[in-house]
Chains A and B, each alone.
Chain A
């Protein structure tokens, strides 16, 4: 369908309407924002969108809406459950207003109409909001327009407006968090940008016309988990208290006399209902692929969602993070490149013992002051965080220095050249205000992250067996350099490359219980070129690992993991995930389901697709956001210590010729 025409958005000053307007404008759409004369429009990016005054209850004013040609109308305007309950007013706006708009659209032959409805719009929901929105949906369905109705679950996202922002403000203030009811009702919270993307995509997809879609986030969670996730994302620990629904209703009635009540009767009625919406139809019809709750909340409380977040609607203005890089080899340059496209980071220093590298990276365009030591850097530049991209054997002394200065740091993998050094690094980390991350980038690869989600959801059943491989064509003759010196790198293929695979196995299955391994030198003089191992984890998980950097045919490193469980099979590599289920399980059908990297990759930048470049972007963004929000990054030094223990056990098993427990 043609989708380059003007977009008219009603309710454009509201939470969703403002985000949608800015979102569409950034994507080069011509956006006309319909607002009332009394509307507060500060959330709109007025450099990019055009506003005009009209009122759904005034059919004459609606004429101005269509003075210029409009291709698509997105109807966001509504009286929501956020405001004081007033059935007559809700009916006028939600039902009569929609009717007026539909009549205007039909008379002018508007090509496309997208109705923003709600999960509350169902016959079981007795709330004023739910009933009036359901009636409005029915009017849309009776119209002659090419309509699509979208029914989102609870919407969250950045910005000071809307129910979510109100909830966050309340959570920030109260010493004890009231949970309405048991907190067990299920919801699928959706990030506002995922909803915007869905609107954009469904407008384009012809098969969505006259259809109604449930929309929600990737994660189906209880209301209590949702609240806990918000508290966690905001690094707040508060006790929860459960308030029975009957008490909530009474309280809602009591506070309804206030001009701006903290919650309403409709909120209570809504909170008593499950919103187990299925997003599979949206996924198949227009490729809807929302983010997870943890990721979404992390982005909500940050202003750094590069390329997607409209300006001026961040929850809170955050200062850019001043970052330095230590080590200007390949990885230092790669992180420099990533940091250059993450708007919330500012590169303030480059450090390397080899001074000529300073001139070299400057000639590449990386324009930050160069220092030949960490002391020199810290003496000149205030730094919030440091990326350490030096060989593994240098990590411990560098971390000691950074911890003394209480600096957050990101370490390239592995954690250290030996288990002893790795433990010493972790022993330094007693101050939990210092945030740390380790560059096991496959943990940020969206395909493996999705696999992790499916595995931890228990889709494969119990007693999992797995096969895992990592191959690379790198070593076919003796080589020199620190990588091939076990005292500096910690070993050969296992310490330098297979540690990524070991991290994934740790992430999927938890700590290792036992290993029986053999390693072999095929070409190298001091380190192993290949290894084979049988690994056993808790909960009956066992499998094999087969790895080599001396196998022809793999100029680009290739990792694969195949799992077999009582309920199905899962196969995953860097670019594809396949799941076979013996029987339908929730939203997952019986038989094969495949996810390609294309469906899951949401990174805004990719320097090296062959090497899983989106994961490098994601890991740097995660670390920067974690530092800004003062929350722990996804992969910490303590996770990396577990990998180091696995490597050590594997090497010991091979050397000692026995199973290591």
Chain B
């Protein structure tokens, strides 16, 4: 992706209720988005308003909706955030790690299943030992298989996996992820993180630099860890592009703040139907 090109990206956390809202809003969202068609209508409105991409976890309804929208708006990019940790953790709680993996596998097509099955079979000893990086590589395969029809060009590692690997000093996972994305899937590997100020120095120490990072960046310093000032300073010394999350870029001051830090991409979340298009247009204007 071109870091100088303004990009407004629609997030899907609120569409799927994955962000804590107040009690009434959560109930309202369930009523507003009972199925893929309703989600697709939001994507269509967003595409008309000029949104460049949709960033999403591997969620069945959202992927079906995206496929529908892409029939009309084929330039709309998709940025997968993999693996779907929230869904996976929930399933792991209910069904155990193996049970959760089995449920994911069931969602796949036969051909993908066979391909991944062969690859996984070769890794059987390490799978049986529950080697984390091996399990993650299988999850990458499983999750990206569901995105294949959407032809993503950039993929993001889920922030909880990024940050977990960061705290445990798991350099091997980052290397594996970068290599797998580039060589097997031909996509640009991005990292999503909620701890930018911890991640950048570590990546530098390890000699790794992703081409794009998805991270909270906003005037209030929300989720800019360890501090807003540290994140701002570190950003000045990195060459990778940044997409800002947890930011309302439809406000001019936010746009100015991001531009000041050479950020040209931002996630915009669905709040309500009435303001979506206006917010996307404003965001586009303020990021440019």
Contact = CB atoms under 8 A, between A and B. Distances in A.
B226 A365 contact: no
Given A307-B197, A366-B168, A553 B30 contact: yes
A239 interface: no
Interface of B: 16-23, 26-27, 29-30, 86, 89-90, 92-94, 96, 129-134, 160, 163-165, 167-173, 194-195, 197-198, 218, 220-223, 225-227, 229-230, 233-234, 236-237
Contacts of A28: 229-230, 233-234, 236-237
Given A364-B132, A553-B29, A609-B223, A307 B230 contact: yes
A309 to B, nearest CB: 11
B262 to A, nearest CB: 13
Interface string A460-472: 0000000001010
B21 to A, nearest CB: 7
Given A287-B220, A364-B168, 13 more contacts: A306-B226, A307-B197, A330-B93, A340-B168, A340-B169, A359-B131, A365-B171, A481-B93, A481-B94, A555-B17, A556-B17, A596-B220, A596-B222
Interface stretch (A152-160, A214-222, A599-607): A599-607
B130 A553 contact: no
A557 B26 CA distance: 11
A447 to B, nearest CB: 11
A483 B93 contact: yes
A47 interface: no
Interface in A354-372: 356-357, 359-360, 363-367
Given A28-B234, A552-B30, A607-B167, A560 B23 contact: yes
Nearest to A26: B230
B132 A360 contact: yes
A576 B131 CA distance: 40
Interface string A292-310: 0000000000000011100
B30 A605 contact: no
Given A356-B129, A609-B223, A27 B17 contact: no
Interface of A: 4, 26-29, 200, 287, 306-308, 330, 333, 336-338, 340-341, 356-357, 359-360, 363-367, 469, 471, 473-474, 479, 481, 483, 552-558, 560, 573-576, 596-599, 601, 603-610, 613
A618 to B, nearest CB: 13
Given A287-B220, A330-B89, A605-B225, A336 B30 contact: no
Contact of A356 (B19, B27, B130): B130
Contacts of B197: 307
A575 B30 CA distance: 20
A609 B194 contact: yes
A604 B172 CA distance: 25
A276 to B, nearest CB: 28
B5 to A, nearest CB: 25
B227 A556 contact: no
A546 B237 CA distance: 50
Given A363-B133, A365-B169, A366-B168, A608 B230 contact: no
A608 B20 CA distance: 12
B23 A610 contact: no
Nearest to A4: B236
B26 A471 contact: yes
B96 to A, nearest CB: 8
Contacts of B229: 27-28, 200
Query: Lowest 5 CB-CB distances: which A-B pairs, in order?
Result: A307-B226, A28-B233, A365-B168, A365-B170, A598-B222
Given A287-B220, A598-B221, A605-B195, A553 B17 contact: yes
B134 to A, nearest CB: 8
B167 A555 contact: no
Contacts of B169: 340, 365, 367
A341 B167 contact: yes
Given A307-B197, A555-B17, A560-B22, A607 B164 contact: yes
30 contacts: A287-B220, A306-B226, A307-B230, A330-B89, A330-B92, A337-B163, A337-B164, A340-B169, A360-B130, A365-B168, A367-B168, A471-B26, A474-B93, A481-B94, A481-B96, A553-B17, A554-B17, A574-B20, A575-B20, A598-B220, A598-B221, A604-B225, A605-B198, A606-B194, A606-B223, A607-B163, A607-B164, A607-B194, A608-B160, A613-B194
B147 to A, nearest CB: 20
A329 to B, nearest CB: 9
Contacts of A576: 22
B271 to A, nearest CB: 15
A364 B168 CA distance: 7
B229 to A, nearest CB: 4
Contacts of A560: 22-23
A607 B30 CA distance: 27
B168 A558 contact: no
